[in-house]
Amino acid sequence: MTTKPYSYRLFARSDYSAFWALFTDNLVNLMVLSGVCQFVFQMPAEIVYGRIVPGAAIAIIAGVAVYALMAKRIAEKTGRDVTALPYGISTPVMFVYLFGVIGPIYWATQDALLAWQVGIGAGFMGGIVAALGAIVGPFLKRVTPRAGMLGTLCGIALVFIGAVPLSQIFENPIIGFASLVIILWGLIGRFRLPFNIPAGLLAIGVGTFCAILIGQSSLEIDGIGFYPPLPYLGDMIAGVQYLFANPELFLVLVPVQIYNFIETMNNVESAEAAGDHYPVAVCQVTDGVGTMIGAVFGSPFPTTVYIGHPAYKRLEAHAGYIIGVAGVIAFAAFFGFLAFINGLIPVAAAAPVLVFVSVSLITNTAFSVRTEHMAAVAIAIMPHVSSFLVTKWGSLHNALRSSGVEGLPALGDPQLTAAMLMEGAHYDGHLALAQGAILTGLIWGAIVAGVIDARFRNAAGFAFAAAAMSSLGIIHAASLQLPQLDGITLGYLITGSFLFLYPLVAPKEDLVNRIIVPDEPDLMPQKQQPV
């Protein structure tokens, strides 16, 4: 009797719904970056749609090819269905590159071509940093509690992937609600739709139909043409040379790429929590190399494993959904259909799909970590709330300036900060938490999880590591700096010292037995052996 070998299908019917969710995520990013480059940085359409967008498509194709093959290999090795890792342009890092690298060059020189050249040079150098994350990634994954890694992802999901699209739905409720109810019905409620129509497709279709009825959808065909992806080695080298001539730009570039490879590590952990095990080092190299390939072909923006694997796993997707996204994005990029899609599909029609991805990630985290570790998840979320506030305060300040308000003090001005504090807006504290929020969330999630498990040495190690990073400006600072002993660094040293010394002097019974806090559920592990 012979056993039939397991054969993994790259494409499954369940890939359709997952396709629309991931496609929407990538599409929104491409819409945002192309709009900012064209209308804020005054880049001509030839650069935006002829170079940046096709380059981004090449980067996505390169990464998707690796992750599809990786899913197939792991599935055939384990003999079970595997969901490929979602992949695309990193949303948080995209904004840093837009307004921390490209923007300052454009505003200082008013030279859109130079800003793009520096952007792709920074993308290439950043890809090298991201790939080097493979050296430390496996170690970090081994010592970092799952609650810390998933908790900081929940923070990003809550405020940027969930809250922002939800606000866009309420800005345009006729379109947004019509699309949102389909998502609630088919993806969150998990009811079968008529004719097995994918919920994401139906949601976007219904929203777009409503937009056409009320005149908020347009058919722009002017930009349709053929835009082949071409290497821009000369421009990229010029951008790298500018970076080395102005090394202060590396102070922005290096920390954000550290953030990027940490994000990859966290997202791989999220996939593992959902049941699919991927080698974190290979994923970090893939993301770094994908970013470098994109830079060579004209895209400044780093790529990464996306947040949301648990959502696609829940939809029972295989690898076809990421292959489909890569194919459609490439077709739209190479033939100029991105501008057409921008006009046809309103943001409010696509936003509910992102809300689902956010909700699914947070829900999966609640089931993936031990109940007592939800305290660690909660504290890991908080720095991202600060990041959101600081981002929106900056947007408000820019909007006031753009509307003609004169004499505005800059954000961070001592008098303005004091006035904000009087109104209950703690700018300095939120700014410190916002700078390096993903690392800060991970660190505090790990510290809290370590304390809960009585693993005081592990918790102390994270506190001391945070002190070193704070001293160098990797977290809680706008840029890298020479080591310094500021208040936050000293605070981490005090925290780490206490956590390290406490188990050495505490009575053994205090380390083993836990007290019950009134009006709180007793979720703490009892008889936990301290480490």
Tell me how far apart the alpha carbons of residues 457 and 440 are, in angstroms, rounded to a whole number: 18
Q: b/e string for 338-375 if b means 16 or more Cβ within 10 A?
A: bbbebebbbbbbbbbbbbbbbbbbbebbeebbeebbbb
Q: Alpha-carbon distance 415 to 163, whole Å? A: 31
For position 248, what pLDDT does the model report?
Answer: 67
Short-list 333, 290, 307, CA closest to 123: 290
Closest among 391, 480, 385, 294 to 96, alpha carbons compared: 391
Q: Distance between CA 239 and CA 382 in Å, rounded?
A: 36
Q: What is the pLDDT of residue 2?
A: 46
pTM exceeds cut of 0.75: no
In this prediction, residue 1 carries a pLDDT of: 41
pLDDT at 4: 55
Asked if 278 and 70 touch (Cβ cutoff 8 Å), the reply is yes
CA atoms within 13 A on the CB side of 301: 29
Task: Profile the chain (531 residues) by mean pLDDT over runs of 10 residues.
Answer: 65 84 80 79 88 94 95 89 89 72 81 93 89 77 80 83 89 95 89 82 90 85 82 94 82 67 80 88 91 95 85 88 94 86 82 83 82 92 92 86 85 91 93 88 93 93 95 86 92 97 89 70 55 53
Question: Of 97, 96, 105, which is closest to residue 122 (Cα–Cα)?
Answer: 97
In order, the DSSP letters of 29-96 are HHHHHHHHHHHTS---HHHIIIIIHHHHHHHHHHHHHHHHHHHHHHHHHHTS--PPPPEEE-HHHHHH
What CA–CA distance (Å, rounded) separates 373 from 376?
A: 5
CB 496 within 8 A of CB 460: yes
Among candidate residues 50, 36, 52, 31, the one with its CA nearest the CA of residue 106: 36
For the record, the structure tokens of 348 come out as 């409010």
Q: In the block, which residue shows the tokens 């300052």? A: 104
Report CA torsion sign: 157, 63, 261, 127.
negative
Instruction: Give me the pLDDT at residue 518, please.
Output: 61
Q: 193's torsion region: left (phi>0), alpha (psi -120 to 50) or beta?
A: beta
Q: Are 115 and 41 in contact (CB under 8 A)?
A: yes
- What's the CA angle centered on 22, arms 18 and 24, to 5 degrees? 115
- Which pLDDT value is given to residue 66? 95
Tell me if 48 sits within 8 A of 374, measured CB to CB. no
Cα distances (Å, whole numbers) of residue 433 to 428, 476, 514: 9, 6, 31
Helix (H, G, I), strand (E, B) or coil at 264: helix
Q: Which residues contact 42 (CB under 8 A, 6 or more apart)?
A: 106, 112
Phi (first) and psi of residue 303, to 5 degrees: -110, 160
Dihedral of alpha carbons 239, 243, 244, 246, sign? positive
Residue 511: its pLDDT value, please?
Answer: 83
CA neighbor of 120 nearest in space, from 272, 286, 297: 297
Between CA 440 and CA 434 the distance in angstroms is 8
Which residue has 């390169």 as its token pair? 62
Residue 297: both structure tokens together: 């072909």
Long-range pairs for 207-212: beta carbons < 8 A, 24 or more residues apart: 207/175, 207/176, 207/178, 207/179, 207/345, 207/346, 207/348, 207/349, 207/350, 207/352, 208/344, 208/345, 208/346, 208/349, 210/174, 210/175, 210/178, 210/179, 210/349, 211/175, 211/345, 211/346, 211/348, 211/349
Structure tokens that stand for 240 in this block: 């790298």
